[in-house]
Structure 1
């Protein structure tokens, strides 16, 4: 589907919400009458579009703590365009507070929000998101319902500064933490730096997962052009919210749905964009899951194929030196999309929520700072896409972010130092007698979708203090876990099948030699096929499954990272039938 082939539906027409509110039957009066206790006039139920503002605000989701204010601007836009806004609080999975990991609850949030959309009288939705998992969970839900939807992100916080140095949220947390362990920074200075990291409302100010997923939403065409980078406290963020409120009303009138926008071509645009911005490896899992909801065949091979020749041109932490504030001032994501379009790396006709093609939206934008959005001849890396490596250690694939890795370690053979799970890692990593040096490969097991459970962001294992004190800042690390988008290093992630599912990672032993060869996309455990088969035959799960509750549901039904780690019974589009009135 492209902008050239989309034809708006005739207007006026009967809307989904009229099944709740139109007429004089007992059931209609039941639905409509209770709504009137909030002071809504009768003529608001006259067939105008009812727009659900799905708000992921929560005091325990600090990245989204300002979204109630933003929702008021969305409402203003909806009223102006002749719609009827209704704000609906939805499940908000905070990366900052949820244990064992917010990722465990992404699918639960998507399920809850999908049923919220389907079971309520909404004709269209504004997806008000911010923190990492809120963006994919709401997009997954919208795709499964296929109701007109538009993304409004909360925006990144302002730059942090500590003693004259830019402080990137997350990125400097890892950096300063390692400096404390190496004896290069005092605990008191670390605590002082803490106050410098988060000095305004908003999401991480690095190109972490939140900023990456905001960029993915824009590159997919699911947000208005320029949405991704506007700082949370900038007045233009509120303008964007109001304009999005206006736009969703027309989208409902045109019947412009996620299935019209999130096509295979749109996902390929997003993959290439991720490479150009140096985006988070978490985007791999989220886009695979979203594509599964859209019933689009997207694979790890597509990630490698589309991203392989894309240069990383956005000079932001953790790959570069600037932060999201400078990215916005330089022109933001539209400049990146224009550069991809000029280089033949963008499907120009891909449709966006504006009703125009993505190329129409960006073709006239200007780069205001070429040290932030770099020219191709000064790219951070010529091949900045996510690299997918395979081999006997990862038959279904694992991912590496070359732009955040050390070039000399992208081809490396080293001795495995194995941690059976995250508790084993924590118990051993600071032991001065740990048999490890900088040439070794740190291997962490049982931290995948089933194993943690939930697949926590523990893949960027901190280095042993005995190595840090030698001035070493990077080692090859391999796991079935994820890594924060704010993190960096030569880290192999999402190894599939995961250890808890009996993948080869489960049988790696201390002293095994492992070869990582990113240029040739290879990850190999250097033992014979016969030895590997014998170990796998003798393998038994090291951890029991949860006996009940959501943890049991998740561990029983979650799929592998290589297909998006969605629950197996949630894949696909189930539509938005109005159901039967039971009153």
Structure 2
């Protein structure tokens, strides 16, 4: 055991290590038993993860049962709905802190408890860097809430209701009353937003016990799986099965297929690129288009469809969906059990074809993330066709440019704003460096004057992100971002922008000479983040662009589990 290096021996150092840990541990805790950390992101300020302390207790039971020693290890928790300016600003910090805690402590393996959007990606990045045996227990989605007899999609209906309120189609009383019904139980968003997507991603990567993704947070089967996970991680330590054994290029291929089939969040793209970067796996934006763009959409889930995660789990879940796509999967990619992911598909079954479609009756024939390139996005931008308006997937219109989020809020509802339904809304200064942290603002609200005319979607372009629960014809993750002085920093209101998703192009109708003759918008430069201390300063100075995962440049790659030995 790796932990033996701390606990074995009769010298002063091993004495100290053992003595300080004898606070209820049995005498044989130091006799070569695997010590298992439980990286626990439970926090009252991350409400979607607040139930993970209970999940942890069941993991502990399983670890004890299998002969290991379980140890709670609180990890930096990121509450998506609570943190300002954006939880994404701290994904890399959470990953770095968890990585160092895993490496520094006398542990042999780690169970990763996450739920809310950034916690599972951060934990996977950390585990990939240290490469000790690791396994994920996703916290699971909340149960379906209802208002006036209709199901509420957490996140997605917030966006819809807020637009209806601004359009005068929904009363303020109804808007505020719906708030009390939106969050029915413990767990994360019940749409196929980023949290649900990353739970499915963890499973398709092979990093969970197969079949757990999408288990509702209040479902007793989540606790049962947590206990099974505790038993399994002890065996993984004995077998020395590590993240690098499980998360191979084949696993990422399977995950891109799964991402398309479930209509998953665009945020998964930056997270998967970052995780692959920690493992030294060559994964690019083009892989998402090449592998996933022709995969059919089979999950009828909000925001791309109508149902919610409780329905998805009831209908057969991820394994049932992947069974329909089995021929597209890499058969060699294994899971934490040591068996291939595809070996778990034979017994999977679709129980409700209104929620999970058969391959021969897809919701959409080609639904994967589309990667756009052109003189507006030389390094790429992404769009989720499954959540877009079909009539806008090929579009030409005049740009209406906003130089910051503040600029957008100040002008978007101006009744004199020069905008029509064919305009292209452009919001810049919201990329990894610019805001900083790449906030979820790309799905800009419609101008109020157009809402009153019935307009509910327009082409929107941004170097930031959007919530996985959001919808619309939104082009995001534009790279290089405006703060890195990419072409987006040079666009002016009135420039004609041309979008063709089928051809994968995004261009402004200007010659190279015309673009190069311009200087970046001074108004945008003045609005950019300029932190002078702490994490934000480090982040802005070292964060990579979205097309490679927005990790910090000095964190790319793995550093292993070795640590210097101290001497007391």
Q: Give the TM bin, normalised by the shorter chain.
A: over 0.9
* Separation (CA, whole Å) in 1 of partners of 2:535 and 2:197: 28
Aligned residue among 206, 212, 222 for 1:237: 222
Matching of residues 183-332 of structure 1 within 5 Å: 183-332=168-317
Q: Aligned partners of 1:99, 1:502: CA distance in 2, in Å?
A: 25
Query: Hey, what does 1:3 align to over in structure 2?
Result: none
Q: Contact 1:410–1:519 (CA<8 Å) still a contact in 2?
A: yes
Q: Is it true that 1:527 corresponds to 2:513 in the alignment?
A: no
Aligned residue number for residue 7 of structure 1: none
Q: Quick one: distance in 2 between partners of 1:267 and 1:537?
A: 37
**Post-superposition CA distance 1:312-364 (Å, at most 9, x none):** 100000000000000000110011121111xx210122110011110111222
- Structure 1 residue 582: Cα displacement: 3.1
TM-score, structure 2 normalization = 0.98
Whole-angstrom CA distance in 2 between matches of 1:134 and 1:544? 24
Greater shift in the superposed pair: 494-503 or 93-102: 93-102
Using the TM superposition, give the Cα deviation of residue 545 of structure 1 relative to its aligned residue in structure 2, in angstroms.
2.3
Confirm or deny that 1:513 pairs with 2:496. Answer: yes
1:360 is matched with which residue? 343
Match of 2:57 in 1: 72
For residues 113-143 of structure 1, give each alpha carbon's deviation from its aligned partner in whole angstroms, at most 9, with x where no partner exists.
0000000011000000000000000000000
> Unaligned regions of 5+ residues in structure 1, if any?
1-14
Question: What secondary structure, in the 3-state scheme, does the structure 2 residue paired with 1:378 have?
Answer: coil
Tell me, in whole angstroms, the C-alpha distance in 2 between the residues paired with 1:444 and 1:368.
43
Inter-partner Cα distance in structure 2 for 1:71 and 1:526: 55
Which residue of 1 is the match for residue 363 of structure 2?
380
How far apart, CA to CA, are the structure 2 residues paired with 1:194 and 1:582? 56
Q: Using the TM superposition, give the Cα deviation of residue 187 of structure 1 relative to its aligned residue in structure 2, in angstroms.
A: 1.0
CA deviation map 1:433-455 (0-9, x unaligned): 11111110000000000001100
Task: Map Cα deviations across residues 427-485 of structure 1 (whole Å, 9 max, x no partner).
Answer: 00111111111110000000000001100000000001111111111000000010000
User: Is residue 18 of structure 2 the alignment partner of residue 32 of structure 1?
Assistant: yes
Identify unmatched segments of 5+ residues in structure 2.
Answer: none
1:494 is aligned to 2:477: yes
Answer whether contact 1:391 1:524 (CA < 8 A) is retained: yes
Runs of 4+ in 1 over 4 A off after TM superposition: 536-540
Offset, 1:537: 7.6
CA contact (8 A) 2:276 2:283 kept: yes
1:18 matches 2:4: yes
How far does the alpha carbon of each residue in 1:252-271 deviate from its partner, in whole angstroms, 9 at most, with x for none?
Answer: 00000000011111001101
2:387 pairs with 1:404:
yes
The CA distance in 1 between the partners of 2:173 and 2:211, in whole Å, is 39
Partners in 1 of 2:39 and 2:547 — Cα distance? 29
1:544 deviates by: 5.5
Per-residue deviation, 1:536: 4.5
Deviations 1:367-390 (A, max 9, x none): 111110012343221111000000
Pairing 1:423–2:406 present:
yes
Instruction: Tell me if the contact between 1:19 and 1:578 (Cα under 8 Å) persists in the aligned partners.
Output: no
1:116 aligns with 2:101: yes
Question: Which of 465, 475, 478 is the aligned partner of 2:448?
Answer: 465
- Give the whole-Å Cα distance in 2 for the aligned partners of 1:144 and 1:18: 22
Instruction: Tell me which moved more, 90-99 or 130-139.
Output: 90-99
8 Å contact kept, 1:380–1:403: no
Name 1:106's counterpart in structure 2: 91
1:536-583 residue CA offsets vs partner (Å, 9 max, x unmatched): 588794336211111110000000000000000000010001421232
Q: Could you tell me the TM-score, scaled by structure 1's length? A: 0.96
User: What per-residue deviation string (whole Å, max 9, x for no partner) do you get for residues 25-83 of structure 1?
Assistant: 110010110111x2212211101100000000000000001000010000001111111
1:504–1:536: 8 Å Cα contact kept in structure 2? no
- CA displacement, residues 67-114 of structure 1 (integer Å, 9 cap, x when unaligned): 000100000011111110001101011111111100000000000000
Tell me which moved more, 356-365 or 101-110. 356-365
Q: SS of the residue aligned with 1:535?
A: coil
